[in-house]
Structure 1
Amino acid sequence: MHIDWAALGTVFGVSLVVTVALVGLFTLGIVGLAKQRPEPTAPGVDGKRSGGSLVAARAGAYACFGLCAAAVAYGIFLIVA
């Protein structure tokens, strides 16, 4: 029995990079959704946030979740094909 260590190392490296990237992307999505909650303000400080930043945070979060779903779907496609 012969083990191709170079191929095994390549598979390990690619899976590690893709896993870290997907977890990071999902984390960015969660952070983008968390930005929508109002932050407590100090006395005398106006706590209003611009609506544009909330819309951008929500759009970015949905884009991150969409990219995660696309990566998972592509992985399933590779397994099935």
Structure 2
Amino acid sequence: MPKVSFEIPVEVKKTISKHKDIKWDKIVSDALWGYTKKIELLDSIVKKSKLSGKDAELLNKSIKKGLSGKYQGKS
């Protein structure tokens, strides 16, 4: 299996060091695997989409406007 290295905050390292009984490599691997699956699903959806970047931006603005109105009591 390939190895990957990355930096983590000092606070996280302190907690990890206190709990050596936890299989941190498994936790990180599972988290990365779960996120990877979400990205793969997103890629497959985007690949099939006919929505242009401009269309997506208009949809984004429309949704934000609707949510803003809803949560500010203006729906």
Q: Which has the higher contact order (CA 8 A, sep 6+)?
A: 1
TM over 0.5: no
What is the TM-score with the length of structure 1 in the denominator? Answer: 0.36
